[in-house]
């Protein structure tokens, strides 16, 4: 099964429970780092959220003032959750959802997307690519839809072999991890409540090793990783976060389109 088909099947199964990830320590620190990367003032801006799933970070963008967020995701069930939350909030026009594989040119789907966006997010989607060509397809869409001087924000794996991924101290652990050509495959267990969420991840060294090659190939410059130590949760409880800072399993990247 391709990593895209696997992602669709797996996330359809876990969709209703996935949103609980936001309450785990890992979910909390990544949200705080994303806020930092976005700049917390998105007044009037339009955001494209590739692989935006149930809309955890899309809703944060709206909270920071974004005019709109378009989520594109391969899992119709994840999108249904995002849409259901919008309905429960009584919102109609802020977040739109579209089903598509973001490793393929989105123009092929003839979706009513904007021609370009002020911000493009890609949070955790590079963890569903076991081939460089899949990543190239994802990055191509980022390059096509991000305006000049627009901001890219993305969460990625930082080390699938991290000790902190073994212990589960930060709200996620791996059941197994093994090397594959050019990277790693692992079984992720997210400590969502009321039930655990589990799925297979494929991540390539070109992503988790911190290479800038794919970013630069689509004109993403000024690459930076948000310093973990600046997250409020770390300032509030440095002792709890000390192990994570030594060997993190996630990184939040910010870059600017040429």
Footprint of ligand SAM (CB under 6 A):
4, 7, 11, 51-53, 56-57, 73-75, 78, 101-103, 123-125, 128
Name which of 40 and 238 has its Cβ closer to ligand SAM: 40
Greatest Cα pair distance in the chain: 50
Handedness of CA 59, 126, 256, 227 (dihedral sign): positive
User: Least distance to ligand SAM from the beta carbon of 146, Å?
Assistant: 17
Name which of 103 and 164 has its Cβ closer to ligand SAM: 103
**Distances, alpha carbon 117 to alpha carbons 105, 121, 181, in Å:** 16, 10, 34
The span from the CA of 197 to the CA of 190, in Å, is 5
Structure tokens at 38: 């976005």
Name which of 45 and 153 has its Cβ closer to ligand SAM: 153
User: Least distance to ligand SAM from the beta carbon of 238, Å?
Assistant: 25
Structure tokens at 173: 């652990």
Contact assessment for residue 200 and residue 6, using Cβ atoms and an 8 Å cutoff: yes
User: Least distance to ligand SAM from the beta carbon of 121, Å?
Assistant: 7
Name which of 25 and 258 has its Cβ closer to ligand SAM: 25
User: Least distance to ligand SAM from the beta carbon of 28, Å?
Assistant: 13
């Amino acid at each position: 099964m391709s990593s895209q088909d696997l992602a669709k099947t797996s996330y359809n199964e876990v969709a209703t429970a996935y949103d609980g990830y936001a309450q785990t320590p890992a979910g909390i620190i990544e949200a705080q780092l994303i806020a930092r990367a976005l700049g917390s003032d998105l007044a009037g801006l339009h955001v494209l959220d590739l692989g935006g799933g149930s809309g955890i970070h899309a809703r944060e963008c709206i909270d920071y003032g974004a005019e709109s967020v378009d989520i594109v995701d391969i899992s119709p069930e994840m999108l249904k959750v995002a849409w259901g939350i919008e309905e429960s909030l009584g919102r109609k026009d802020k977040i739109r959802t579209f089903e598509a594989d973001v490793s393929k040119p989105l123009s092929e789907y003839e979706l009513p997307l904007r021609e370009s966006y002020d911000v493009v997010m890609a949070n955790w989607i590079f963890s569903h690519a076991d081939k460089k060509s899949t990543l190239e397809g994802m990055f191509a869409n980022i390059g096509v839809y991000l305006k000049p001087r627009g901001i890219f924000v993305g969460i990625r794996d930082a080390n699938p072999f991290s000790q902190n991924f073994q212990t589960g101290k930060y709200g996620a652990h791996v059941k197994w991890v093994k090397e594959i050509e050019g990277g790693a495959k692992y079984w992720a267990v997210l400590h969502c409540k009321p039930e655990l969420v589990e799925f297979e991840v494929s991540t390539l060294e070109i992503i988790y090793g911190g290479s800038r090659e794919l970013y630069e190939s689509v004109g993403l410059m000024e690459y930076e990783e948000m310093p973990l130590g600046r997250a409020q949760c770390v300032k509030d409880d440095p002792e709890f976060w000390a192990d994570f800072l030594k060997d993190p399993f996630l990184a939040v990247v910010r870059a600017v389109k040429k």
